[in-house]
């Protein structure tokens, strides 16, 4: 029985720079009740836009959409789009919009919405709370989080947060569940848990549409796949056949970056530890003693399950969190500087570090060129020296200035919260670290945009006018714009399709070779990790378990931490695991 009809749907974005971008172009397909439909395509092909118009949060410019008894056209009222929204639930890519409460309470709120239409939290002493808690625990069990139900959302790993978001959507029992990269930043074991959960959700009769760049997700879940290219449906059918045709577009991998013959350390991590405590639960995570060095032109992978401590290490390496004990040394002007100590020297050393955050969400209403100008205002040493002079004039201690400088490098929402805790606003950041003049920005980023295959006009678009893949590549460009000697990438390719990710991986190899930048990378696509990295460090439960050549590290990881998991093999990310030159 046909449940969803999409007929001649067109969606046009009118960019602020004057361009018209046709995201969907005369799209037609049907979905049966209870079917699991996969959406496949390269970055910018229209997958996310299609998910959003089916959700009812984007209007269409032509055609019509019908879900059950609700239909919308380009001239439909807001009420009609709201009706469409009530029939659906959505899981957005790289979205971490969760309540600052326990995982259990997050799901209870979603259940409360299902029953009463509002996400209020009943009193923990009430019978209603206990009843909802029992149901919430069952749902958390579906996504492998039952044992983490008491942990606050802020203390969960990126993969765990994604599964919690999925649990909240399941709790709402929608007629249609729309998924945009539901296992983006999950390790193989976590991905397996997500697959099991989605199968169970589909088995209870919920119709699911899933946009995913992961071939394995389509192979294991989809009844049928639709292939989008430049906003048009170019293929439809069985997952295996379409995936084979789609992956035939992969360009060949370039050789790994060639390390200098006498590569010297530029980063030293010495006996670093960190603990996280959440009131009233006490310690929820402990990073045990971490020691390693990173050399010029070397790409090092941090490998481990979701929640193992990889992102914690990355933030400490960037100086965005201070360790409980230990030191992080950065080579700067032939001297080793400990960036765990606040001050001018630390600011100068950290200027040599670029980071792409796992939760990098670009400010929604910003132009891309303004983001580059702001980043260069923070990372350019000439601009930092001006900030030191301004702070002195304002009577701001240099250690306080350094603390504000570090906060300015956090993801926007987190930075806002940290500043508010200090009684400050974004205005102080703008005053102390003004943006670089735009006429200087264009020339500075030209080569970088070309290397990452981004058109020049991307500079004058708003971030919400970019595709998901374009956003990732812009975020990667922002981490490289100051020509750092140390590059930290936390899930840089997590939500790129294999074709686009291979292009971005090749571009990264070129950038690493050209800049001789020391790179530390976190990614759960093991085929990609083997293709790009020279060395691996295996981490679990906050502890370094193994360090060595990348192939040996991956063998250790698969044997010791993934054995017994049905998705223990790196497979179908679309990347080969064949030996590459210089491996």
Query: Which of these CATH numbers, 3.40.190.10, 3.40.50.970, 3.40.50.300, 3.40.50.170, describes 263-352+484-583?
Result: 3.40.50.300
> Would you state the structure tokens that stand for residue 11, as one six-digit string?
């969606």
- Whether the CB-CB separation of 550 and 518 falls below 8 Å is answered with no
Domain boundaries, the chain: 1-87+174-249, 104-167, 263-352+484-583
pLDDT given at position 575: 40
Residue 484 pLDDT class (50, 70, 90 cuts): very high
pLDDT given at position 378: 92
User: What phi, psi does 88 have (nearest 5°)?
Assistant: -125, 160
Tell me the CA distances in angstroms from 44 to 470, 471, 580, one per residue in order: 7, 10, 29
3-class SS of residue 485: coil
Query: Residue 296: which H helix or E strand, with range?
Result: none
pLDDT, mean over the chain: 87
124-162: b or e for each residue (b if 16 or more CB lie within 10 Å)?
eeeeebeebbeebbebbebbbbbebbebbbbbbbbbbbb
Residue whose token pair is 């670009």: 362
| Alpha-carbon dihedral angle through residues 516, 518, 524, 526, given to the nearest 10 degrees | 60
450-454, 467-471, 474-478: least confident range: 467-471
Alpha helices in 280-355 (DSSP H): 310-317, 344-350
Helix, strand, coil tally for the chain in percent (to 5) = 40, 25, 35
pTM above 0.85, yes or no: no
1-87+174-249 matches 263-352+484-583 in fold:
yes
Fold of the CATH domain 1-87+174-249: Rossmann fold (3.40.50)
31-40, 258-267, 340-349: least confident range: 258-267
Tell me the CA distances in angstroms from 518 to 257, 295, 444, 502, 514, one per residue in order: 10, 6, 21, 20, 11
Q: Are strands 232-237 and 224-229 parallel, antiparallel or unpaired?
A: antiparallel
Task: For 33-82, write each residue's pLDDT tens digit.
Answer: 999 999 999 888 999 899 999 999 999 999 999 999 999 999 999 999 99
User: What phi, psi does 28 have (nearest 5°)?
Assistant: -135, 130
Residue 139 pLDDT more than 60?
yes
Residue 278 pLDDT more than 80?
no
- Whether the CB-CB separation of 240 and 225 falls below 8 Å is answered with no
């Amino acid at each position: 029985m046909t449940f969803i009809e999409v007929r001649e749907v067109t969606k046009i974005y009118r960019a602020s720079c004057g361009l018209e971008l046709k995201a969907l172009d005369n799209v037609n397909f049907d979905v049966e009740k209870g079917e699991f439909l996969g959406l496949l395509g390269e970055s910018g092909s229209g997958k996310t836009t299609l998910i959003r118009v089916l959700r009812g949060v984007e209007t269409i410019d032509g055609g019509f959409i019908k879900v059950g008894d609700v239909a919308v056209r380009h001239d439909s009222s807001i009420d009609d789009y709201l009706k469409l929204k009530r029939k659906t639930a959505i899981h957005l890519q790289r979205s971490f919009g969760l309540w600052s409460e326990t995982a259990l309470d997050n799901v209870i709120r979603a259940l409360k919405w299902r029953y009463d239409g509002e996400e209020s939290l009943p009193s923990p002493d009430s019978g209603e709370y206990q009843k909802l808690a029992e149901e919430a625990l069952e749902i958390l069990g579906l996504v492998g989080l039952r044992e983490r139900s008491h942990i606050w959302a802020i203390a969960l790993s990126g993969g765990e947060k994604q599964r919690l978001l999925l649990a909240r959507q399941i709790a709402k029992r929608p007629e249609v569940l729309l998924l945009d990269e539901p296992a983006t930043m999950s390790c193989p074991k976590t991905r397996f848990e997500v697959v099991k959960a989605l199968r169970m959700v589909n088995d209870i009769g919920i119709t699911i549409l899933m946009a995913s760049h992961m071939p394995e997700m389509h192979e294991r879940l989809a009844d049928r796949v639709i292939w989008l290219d430049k906003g048009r449906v170019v293929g439809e059918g069985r997952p295996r056949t379409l995936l084979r045709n789609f992956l035939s577009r992969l360009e060949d991998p370039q050789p790994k970056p060639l390390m200098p013959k006498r590569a010297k350390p530029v980063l030293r991590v010495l006996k670093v530890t960190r603990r996280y405590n959440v009131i009233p639960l006490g310690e929820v995570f402990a990073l045990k003693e971490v020691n390693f060095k990173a050399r010029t032109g070397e790409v090092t992978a941090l490998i481990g399950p979701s929640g193992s401590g990889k992102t914690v290490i990355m933030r400490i390496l960037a100086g965005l969190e201070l360790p409980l004990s230990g030191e992080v040394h950065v080579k700067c002007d032939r001297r080793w500087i400990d960036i765990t100590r606040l001050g001018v020297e630390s600011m100068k050393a950290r200027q040599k570090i670029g980071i792409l955050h796992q939760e990098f969400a670009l400010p929604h209403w910003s132009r891309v060129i303004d983001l580059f100008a702001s980043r260069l205002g923070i990372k350019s040493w000439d601009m930092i020296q001006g900030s030191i002079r301004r702070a002195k004039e304002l009577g701001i201690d240099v250690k306080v200035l350094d603390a504000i400088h570090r906060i300015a490098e956090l993801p926007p929402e987190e930075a806002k919260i940290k500043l508010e805790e200090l009684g400050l606003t974004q205005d102080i950041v703008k005053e102390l670290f003004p943006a670089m003049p735009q006429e200087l920005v264009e020339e500075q980023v030209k080569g970088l945009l070309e290397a990452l295959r981004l058109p020049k006009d991307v500079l004058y678009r708003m971030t919400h006018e970019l595709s998901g893949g374009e956003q990732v590549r812009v975020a990667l460009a922002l981490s490289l714009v100051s020509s750092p000697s140390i590059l930290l990438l936390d899930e840089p390719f997590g939500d790129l399709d294999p074709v686009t990710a291979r292009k971005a991986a090749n571009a990264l190899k070129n950038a690493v070779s050209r800049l001789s930048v020391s790179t530390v990378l976190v990614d759960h696509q093991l085929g990609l990790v083997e293709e790009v990295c020279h060395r691996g460090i295996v981490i679990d439960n906050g502890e370094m378990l193994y360090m060595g050549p990348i192939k040996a590290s991956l063998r250790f990881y698969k044997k010791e931490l993934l054995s017994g998991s049905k998705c223990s093999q790196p497979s179908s990310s679309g990347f080969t695991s064949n030996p590459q030159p210089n491996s």
